[in-house]
Amino acid sequence: MKAMVLAAPGRPLVFEQRPDPLPGAGEIRVRVEACGVCRTDLHVVDGELPDINLPIVPGHEIVGIVEALGSGVSSLAPGQRVGIPWLGHTCGVCDYCRRGQENLCDAPLFTGYTRDGGFATAAIADARYAFPLGEAGDDISLAPLLCAGLIGWRSLVMAGQAETLGLYGFGAAAHIIAQVARWQGRAVYAFTRAGDTESQEFARSLGAVWAGGSDDKPPVRLDAAIIFAPAGALVPAALRAVRKGGRVVCAGIHMSDIPSFPYRWLWEERQILSVANLTRQDGIDFLRIAPQAKIVTETTRYPLEFANDALADLRAGRFDGAAVLVP
Ligand SMILES: [Zn+2]
Ligand SMILES: [Zn+2]
């Protein structure tokens, strides 16, 4: 197999040729057909997350074909198309797992972070954490659903019954969730970097009723806001945009420090929440809804060997939507 490998934080990924891995008990090996590039991959590469299992193959938006089964796997069959998300394994016995909060498991594995991911031609996955994807949709278009879509979906659920919804940072996740929110009949207000008229236009093309800079005041009070950009300064900005009792949901795994702000911006029962990881039920729910909402993902395709370029272009905001690596 071929893989793009991170040996140390801050270094470019290096191309490696490796023997095909063998799936252990309860595992599958997939032939990777496409793997999305997520902002979390940047946080891994930059060493902004703790305890990265180095060397690591990043990538946790995998669309692949099952090609080998480990012992005891009966839920999947060779030839089946599956999606492999960020949540790669949970212990099943800790307090969180037992409470139905497996996204908070004390002993999890995460694809492309603590177990090798999909910036490769093959990947090993726990069969219980691979979602059958069926026949509809092409591999490249589906890949961004597996994190940008899924974490975005969990964030949207956390936002509650918001009729007016702000999305801060209009990248891969927001461009999917804007479509879902519109399909649900909500009004989407998109916030981008000040002056980024291209992203604002992109947001309007996906149904946002308003788009502006992150410091702009939206024309209405928002019921809720989701922050996808990793900038802590957006937390007080979003608090000022939501109504009394409104929610601000932080969707990212990493954010720069949140600056201090007057308590009165939080007062009147405004809430700040964070979203961590996903549960398998989130995946089942979202993958059922995605075709109903007729989500169309905007993707930019890169050959696997150009993973470093995809990461650099994501960092610089050089494309709309999502980057996808194709072996
Ligand atoms: Zn657990
Ligand atoms: Zn991700």
How many A from CA of 279 to the centre of ligand 1?
11
For the CA of 61, the nearest ligand? 2
User: What counts of helices (H) and strands (E) characterise the chain?
Assistant: 9, 17
Residues in CB range of 242: below 8 A, 6 or more apart:
166, 221, 222, 223, 224, 225, 248, 270
SS3 assignment, position 84:
strand
How many A from CA of 264 to the centre of ligand 2?
33
Among 61, 107, 96, 133, residue whose Cα is nearest residue 287: 133
List pLDDT tens digits, range 274-297. Answer: 999 999 999 999 999 999 999 999
- 274: exposed, middle or buried (Cβ count in 10 Å: 0-12, 13-18, 19+): middle
How many A from CA of 172 to the centre of ligand 2?
10
List pLDDT tens digits, range 16-45. Answer: 999 999 999 999 999 999 999 999 999 999
pLDDT band at 90 (very low <50, low <70, confident <90, very high): very high
List pLDDT tens digits, range 203-240. Answer: 999 999 999 999 999 999 999 999 999 999 999 999 99
For the CA of 228, the nearest ligand? 2
Q: How far apart are CA 231 and CA 215, in angstroms?
A: 13
pLDDT on residue 299: 98
List pLDDT tens digits, range 170-190. Answer: 999 999 999 999 999 999 999
How many A from CA of 247 to the centre of ligand 2?
22
In percent, how much of the chain has pLDDT > 90? 100
How many A from CA of 104 to the centre of ligand 1?
7
Find residue 16's DSSP bridge partners. Answer: 3
pLDDT on residue 98: 98
How many A from CA of 263 to the centre of ligand 2?
32
